[in-house]
Copies of this chain bind each other. A is one copy, B any other.
Amino acid sequence: MIDKAELQAQIARTAQQVRAANPMAGSITNSVTINFVANAQIAVGGSAAMVYLPDEGEFLANAGGATYINVGTLLPIYEETLPRTARTLHELGKPWVLDPVAIGIGSLRTKLLAQFKEFKPTIIRGNASEVIALANLWQVAGDGGASQVRGVDSTQAVDEAREAAVALARYTGGAVAVSGETDLVTDGETVCLSHGGSTFMTQITGSGCSLGGVCAVYAACAETPLAAALAGVNVYNLAGARAAARVDAPGSFQVAFLDELYKATPQDIANNPFEAEEA
C-alpha cells in the first residue's frame, strides 16, 4: 500500500497541476445537477463541457483530459451515446469517472451499467448502496451484500460497502470512492477514510454528482486514480466543513461551498484529515 505522506504529495501536485493546466473534463450527466457539476469543476480549476449526442460524447472523450459519465436522468439517445463514449475512453486509455446514480431503476440504466463493466471506469463514485449494487451487477465481489437503493439516496453506511468497493477497484485497476459521513476511497490495495464535510451536503442536491465531476478534473492531471479520487473527496470534505461553519441553512451552504472549493489550496486539500490503511 501507498504511504500516506506520498499520497498527500500526489494530491498536492494534482491540485496544483489542475490550477496550472485548466484541464477540460467533459460530462454526460443528469439535468438536475448539471449546472452545479460545471460550476464545481470550474471552481477547482478545470473546464467543463456537457453533451448528449453520440458523436459529441466521442469528441469530448478524445478532446478532454478525462470524462465524467453520470447515469442520472437517462434520455433515449443515451443507449447509443454512453457505450460509444465509454468505449472510446477505454480504447484511448483516457481516465473516466462513472457515477452509477440510482442503479436499479429502469431497464436502460441496468443495461448501460452492465455494459460499462467492459470499459473499466478509472474511478467509480457512488453512495454505499450504489457501490454495493454495482459490485453485485458486475459480480466482482464474493458476497457484496444486499444493496438497498431508494431512488437516489443511500440507505446503507459506508463501511458496509468496503468489500464491494475493494472488489470493484481490483477489477477495474482504478479507484472507487464511497460517499457518506466518512468517505472511503480505495484502489483495492490501500483504503483511505477521509473526514470532514457537513450534513448540509445531504440537504442539497448535487454534492455527489459534482464530486464525480471534480474527480474527473483531477483525474486529468493525477499520477494515479487513487490520488485523483482522494483529491476530490478531500476538497469536498474541506470545502463542506468550511462552508458549514459559515452558514445555517442549505441555500447559503450551496453558495458558500462553491466559494470554498475555489479557495482551497493544494496544500489544504492534501492536508484534509484522512487515514490510509491496508485494504
B35, B106, B252: which contacts A35 (Cβ < 8 A)?
B35
Copies in the complex: 3
Residues of B close to A72: CB separation below 8 A: 50
Interface residues of A in 56-94 (CB under 8 A from B): 56, 59-60, 63-64, 72-77
A268: interface (CB < 8 Å): no
- Is the CB of A157 closer than 8 A to any CB of chain B? no
| B-chain residues with CB within 8 Å of residue A60 when the two chains form the complex | 105, 151
Tell whether, in the assembled complex, residue A30 and residue B56 are in contact, meaning their CB atoms are under 8 Å apart: no
Across the interface, do B250 and A106 meet the contact criterion of CB distance under 8 Å? no
Main secondary structure of the interface of A (DSSP, over half): mixed
A34-61 contact mask (Cβ, 8 Å, vs B): 1 or 0: 1110110011000111111101100110
Q: A109-134 interface mask toward B, CB cutoff 8 Å, 1 = contact, 0 = none? A: 10000000000000000000000000
Please report the total number of A residues contacting B with Cβ < 8 Å.
61
Task: List the B side residues contacting A107 at CB < 8 Å.
Answer: 55
Residues of A within 8 A of B (CB): 24, 26, 30-36, 38-39, 42-43, 47-53, 55-56, 59-60, 63-64, 72-77, 102, 105-109, 150-153, 203-206, 248-252, 254-263
